[in-house]
Amino acid sequence: MSRLTMTAFVTLDGIMQAPGGPKEDPSGGFLQGGWVIPLIDETFGKFIVDRFSRAGGFLLGRGTYEIFAGHWPRVADPADPVAGPLNRLPKYIASRTLDRLEWRGSVLVRDVPAEVARLKAQDGPEIQVHGSPGLAQTLLAHELIDELHLLEFPIVLGTGKRLFGSGTVPAAFEVTSTQTTSRGVVIRTLIPTGRPVLGSAPPPH
């Protein structure tokens, strides 16, 4: 079976909109794009290169697909550690509205729960999700994500699209590794373990 992993950049208040630049996703009047850039260092770069080196394919939401497709096909160097895998490997695009995909190797996915489950049932290398906050909600709700790589940046933005927004299904995770970059970015690898276990604190004496 194929494993499905997700890599997400988030602020301390859970925002993940437009990490790479002001024009990346200004929807909803978001004016604070590009918040990742000042906090990139060598450790961050090595982590991202390692993630992409493990990919056998990509599953992307429509918004992230359009952002990626507007940039990475123009990076023609097949040895580029990010552009190389993105341009070469299969890309499964979750959308109910797109009719055609221009980026080579892209395939539409209409019924995410059913079609992603079928992809995972096939023998093959890791399928990766990057960004795609709306898609993430569906994948988490249907327990399709096997591993979550969460990069938490030490800033607060207040508004914007969140990874865990309203309607998120409660879930528990086991943290399997943690590292902190020189710029204070906390990189956690988490494995979903089902629904949260709740308890009750003893009454004060």
Condensed to tens digits (0 to 9), the pLDDT of residues 69-100 reads 999 999 989 999 999 999 999 999 999 899 88
What are 76's two structure tokens?
């023609």
What are 54's two structure tokens?
């493990």
pLDDT exceeds 90 at position 173: yes
Phi, psi of 77 (to 5 degrees): -70, 110
Given this model, what pLDDT does residue 107 score? 95
What's the rounded Cα separation, in Å, for the pair 113 and 91? 16
Give the residue extent of every domain in the chain.
4-194
Q: What is the pLDDT of residues 96-153, one digit of tens each?
A: 899 889 999 999 999 999 999 999 999 889 999 999 888 988 998 899 999 999 999 9
Q: How far is CA 46 from CA 60, 87, 90, 134, in A?
A: 22, 20, 23, 27
pLDDT band at 204 (very low <50, low <70, confident <90, very high): confident
Q: What is the pLDDT of residues 41-54, one digit of tens each?
A: 999 999 999 999 99
Tell me the CATH number for domain 4-194: 3.40.430.10
Q: Summarize the confidence of residues 164-193 as an average pLDDT.
A: 94
Smallest CA-to-CA distance from 32 within 161, 131, 132 is with: 161
124 or 173, greater pLDDT: 173
DSSP summary character for residue 162: B
